[in-house]
Structure 1
Amino acid sequence: MAKDPDWWRGAVIYQIYPRSYQDSNGDGVGDLLGIVRRLPYIASLGVDAVWISPFFTSPMKDFGYDVADYCDVDPMFGTLADFDAVIETAHALGIKVMIDLVLSHTSDQHPWFKESRASRDNAKADWYVWAEANPDGTPPNNWLSIFGGSAWQWDGGRMQYYLHNFLTSQPDLNFHEPEVHDALLDVARFWLERGVDGFRLDTINFYTHDKELRNNPPLDPALRTSRTAPAVNPYNWQEHLYDKSRPENLIFLKKLRAVMKPFNAAAVGEVGDEQRGLEILGEYTAGDDLMQMCYAFELLSGDQPTAGYVAEVMAKVEEVAADGWACWAYSNHDVTRHATRWQLTPPALRGFTTLMMCLKGSACIYQGEELGLPEAEVGFDDLQDPYGIEFWPEFKGRDGCRTPMVWERSNASGGFSTAPRTWLPVPGEHLALSVEAAEADPGALIHHYRRAIALRHAHPALMKGTLEALAVEGNVLSFTRRHAGEEIFFALNMGEAPVTITPPAGDWTWLGAELNSAHPGADGKVHLGHWQPCIMLRAKARA
């Protein structure tokens, strides 16, 4: 494949949650050969890359985000040979492959942790974060787990606590130990040498903790949000100064970038931080020796973004990450699907899709969002997610966005599996939105996704350009994108009522008729219906 070192800039990345994409062997769980089968469909969307959520050997307490062997495939998903088939097929179709590396923690079943917990003086004794109890037996400090309760778990063998930012079965690695760096860099090399084109880095700002184990201060209640953890979780009540997002993290990220460079690989990091997400994004993507991209949770928020909010986020990115690069997503495997989360009408779904493909940054699409899938209702008896089980019913967990992909209308599992029971139930209401149904309907959302992605790829200004002249007038968001002699004006009416705007003066060519882009009238004004964009190219522009 072409060795464009900037292939990631402006790329459209399609996230696959492998348990739920396609079952090839009839056991009710998706697998790697199922992905191979469906790669031509993914290619038909026009995306640049896939991000595959974890498929490594795991006890599956957190569905693969608890890794027991970084360099092998869990039998549930297949074999290393099956993964090689994914790489070969994707590359033949012109698709890059990014895999989800979970480096901040392992499973407690990982051989590294088994050795570390065996004694205080073995070779890996310091590979995890161990600490003495307080004199009264309580944990070393007040750090909390995202999955509920203390972030510290007592181990009677070592007579110490170990740190876990997530489940108790997910002990945190000690990034103050150079040998841990070396071992994890070897993991990255293993997959790069196998042909992967990059990584999605889970919880990238959780890698390094405060070596002094200082208590987190309380957070002003007025500043509490629930983008990283649900509102019912007291994790939101702390200012997380010491348990994550430490400056020493940059040391490891520079090492990882150096390992990736000879392979022309790219990484996108997940930044989970309520107060400083965009600032950390800027820190981690600055220059050319750290990560290429990161995403924070601003567009994964609970409230439907308004024109003003989107402008505020984009302006903040320009302020704190002018030398970096963002990657945007509306949905993923950890949040309620945005069709439901924002209660979007069909025109709004199309409008947000068009906006995503015109924003500065790269873009992630989560499987099924191109079909307009709503969040599924999963009953407590069918629940699999430990997060939802812990906080039910105020927070129902993440299973509602993880139900199997629907391919066909004709059977109860939507063509996902031949098994009588799938790992999560397939919602009946999803069947009418299957790929088969969408492909046969000229008005289906999937065709809008294809057209919006194609527009992005047709214009370097949308892929790699600057974002300028950001403005909000009522419900209308507007900006220009500029790159290599090309300038594009974009406006979107993010409200229900029609409005009239006056684009910047100049010699413009109308773009995006296939996306319902409004055409300027003879008077130069543009009349925008609800959720209607206006997209125009300045003729013979020069940078």
Structure 2
Amino acid sequence: MTQKSALIKDPDWWRGAVIYQIYPRSFQDSNGDGIGDIAGIIQRLDHVEKLGVDAIWLSPFFTSPMLDFGYDVSDYRDVDPMFGTLEDFDDLIAAAHSRGIKIIIDLVLSHTSDQHPWFVESRADRENVKADWYVWADAKPDGTPPNNWLSIFGGSSWEWDGQRMQYYLHNFLIEQPDLNFHNAEVRQELLDVARFWLDRGVDGFRLDTVNFYYCDAQLRDNPALPDTARNDSIAPAVNPYNFQEHLYDKNQPENLEFLRELRDLLNSYDAITTVGEVGDAQRGSEIQATYTGGGDKLHMAYDFALLANAYPTGTRIAEVMKTSESFGQDSWGCWAYSNHDVERHGSRWRLSDEAKRVYAALLMCLRGSVCLYQGEELGLEEAEVPFEALQDPYGKRFWPKFKGRDGCRTPMVWQSDNRNGGFSTATPWLPVSADHLNKSVSSQQEDATSMLAFYQAMIAFRKTQTPLLKGHYAPVSADDAHIAFEREHDGHRILCVFNLSDAPISVPLPSGEWTWNGTAPFEDVRNGETVSLGPWQAAFANEKGAL
């Protein structure tokens, strides 16, 4: 098994960490089959190390029929052959740890593939030992599903099974049946899965759909959601999933006890962390705080407040932070703009390169940890994937108003002089965007003015400022064009001011003597009663004498 002796075993390392998400299918193909793999990730670790991040979040690589590209697991304890072997995974752990990079793997515990042996046995009849391992229910007298719950991927979340003559629950694809967390044997088996990977040397888990583990034991109908309360942060606007208030199909209070059981297991290992994905359009921040507060459940979690379509004006960012802070100072968020499930934020918010830079700087200064998605450091836009090349079942279901998630999952671009971007010698599983080629790693890595260089500099700056890593958050001022706030830790204060517009601004300074920090990747700013910033600029000041 891999050892972590090369890493500093600080149990608090995750607080303020920058985590880099790798989507294995699209990072680097090492064997010429057009699909990225674990050996390819090892080949590209130098890039991750130079970026300066603390950890990698590795999207699913488990054995799977790949109908949802690894989020439909058929064997939790093995690597799918398209990605390599368990030995390859051990090699990745060793190679990352030798560079001081931790590995967080994506655990999909709420559901499995319908090809998982557990489900094959469960659906065989109503008397077998795993009969109650999934959420089964009888039809209503008229043959319709047990209740009105809807799938995020469209349609009812119930599927009829003619073998058992019952419906089973699936919050996502029909081929992704939901496990029954009310069954103690299921919970114990999933804890054993986590133990298997901890014993191999992983440093933590990203927990997919962490608020979906339990459903209401009584299977009560969800109420309708008023039009004015609907938003498309979790599901696209064309999806009727947004028409319900999801009171009973997720977010159940029993979930907290399972998270405590999981935390007890993690606490028996050194310096392990968790980051939970909270998918809820109405109460995401509250759930995030509840799941991470108290020190006995998750270490950190993220909701979709900054992964949504709503443009992040200074006013909105201030509101998001105020809401997050209102639920308790002992909770911890993990902020992201982009990931494998949403349109890349440069396209989603129609940002110029100058705007991408200032928003990246802002992300590095919010209270919480940070997730970056592969290619974000290159300033990649959403790729255009034609319908005939589409792989994502979600996109196929709601095309053309929602084009799915393939546009953010296209291969990483390493070289500009190769039509496949240096990703593969074969035709990639998704086409490489021609618009991405001129933003490749090779075209940016020697350019001190590039987006890549900016991300490297901003991550490095963050690490020099303990208040940005672990400190409290205090608002100073905000409107649509700017946001200013302080971060404080152990008496050390840093002031962060961001111009989120294409016009110059002047912002009154809070009380205190400030020394402007010229080491960040922005212009040095001199002190006065106000701070004046040019378009899409940021400024940072330390309280004089505090550092």
Q: TM-score range by the shorter chain?
A: over 0.9
Distance, in Å, in 2 between the alignment partners of 1:194 and 1:181 is 21
**What root-mean-square deviation, in Å, do the aligned CA atoms of Structure 1 and Structure 2 show?**
1.1
The one-letter code of the counterpart of 1:344 is: L
Alignment correspondent of 1:462: 468
* TM-score normalised per structure 1: 0.98
Q: Does 1:288 align with 2:295?
A: yes
Distance, in Å, in 1 between the alignment partners of 2:316 and 2:451 is 25
Distance apart, 1:499 and its partner CA: 1.0
Moved more, 217-226 or 477-486: 477-486
Distance, in Å, in 2 between the alignment partners of 1:396 and 1:474 is 30
Q: Which of residues 532, 539, 542 is equivalent to 1:537? A: 542
* Matched position secondary structure for 1:352: helix
Alignment correspondent of 2:151: 145
Partner deviation per Cα, 1:459-494 (whole Å, 9 max, x = no partner): 110000000134214522111000123110011111
Please show how residues 193-342 of structure 1 align to structure 2 within 5 Å: 193-263=199-269, 264-342=271-349
Please show how residues 61-76 of structure 1 align to structure 2 within 5 Å: 61-76=67-82
Alignment correspondent of 1:41: 47
Q: Which of residues 421, 433, 444 is equivalent to 2:439? A: 433
Alignment correspondent of 1:417: 424
Distance, in Å, in 2 between the alignment partners of 1:473 and 1:306 is 7
Where has structure 1 moved over 6 Å in runs of 4 or more?
none
Distance, in Å, in 2 between the alignment partners of 1:411 and 1:380 is 24
Q: Does 1:175 align with 2:181?
A: yes
Alignment correspondent of 2:356: 349
Alignment correspondent of 1:54: 60
Distance apart, 1:518 and its partner CA: 4.7
Conservation of the 8 A alpha-carbon contact between 2:318 and 2:475: no
Q: Which of residues 378, 386, 389 is equivalent to 2:393? A: 386
* Matched position secondary structure for 1:241: coil
Distance apart, 1:507 and its partner CA: 2.5
* Matched position secondary structure for 2:438: helix
Conservation of the 8 A alpha-carbon contact between 1:145 and 1:151: yes
Distance, in Å, in 2 between the alignment partners of 1:470 and 1:17 is 37
* Matched position secondary structure for 2:431: coil
Moved more, 461-470 or 188-197: 461-470
Distance apart, 1:514 and its partner CA: 3.9
Conservation of the 8 A alpha-carbon contact between 2:496 and 2:540: yes
The one-letter code of the counterpart of 2:360 is: T
Distance, in Å, in 1 between the alignment partners of 2:266 and 2:275 is 12
* Matched position secondary structure for 1:175: coil
Distance, in Å, in 1 between the alignment partners of 2:295 and 2:287 is 16
Distance apart, 1:442 and its partner CA: 2.2
The one-letter code of the counterpart of 1:257 is: R
* TM-score normalised per structure 2: 0.97
Q: Does 1:126 align with 2:132?
A: yes
Distance apart, 1:321 and its partner CA: 3.6
Conservation of the 8 A alpha-carbon contact between 2:461 and 2:519: no
Percent identical pairs in the alignment equals: 60
Conservation of the 8 A alpha-carbon contact between 1:510 and 1:519: yes
Alignment correspondent of 1:159: 165
Structure 2: gaps spanning 5 or more residues:
1-6
Distance, in Å, in 2 between the alignment partners of 1:58 and 1:470 is 49
Q: Which of residues 412, 422, 432 is equivalent to 1:405? A: 412
Conservation of the 8 A alpha-carbon contact between 2:506 and 2:530: yes
Conservation of the 8 A alpha-carbon contact between 1:518 and 1:532: no
Q: Does 1:445 align with 2:426?
A: no
Conservation of the 8 A alpha-carbon contact between 1:278 and 1:321: no
Conservation of the 8 A alpha-carbon contact between 2:19 and 2:370: yes
The one-letter code of the counterpart of 1:353 is: A
Conservation of the 8 A alpha-carbon contact between 2:34 and 2:429: yes
The one-letter code of the counterpart of 1:56 is: F
Distance, in Å, in 1 between the alignment partners of 2:418 and 2:488 is 48
* Matched position secondary structure for 1:98: strand
Conservation of the 8 A alpha-carbon contact between 1:10 and 1:464: yes
Q: Does 1:362 align with 2:372?
A: no
* Matched position secondary structure for 1:360: coil
Distance apart, 1:301 and its partner CA: 1.2
Moved more, 117-126 or 317-326: 317-326
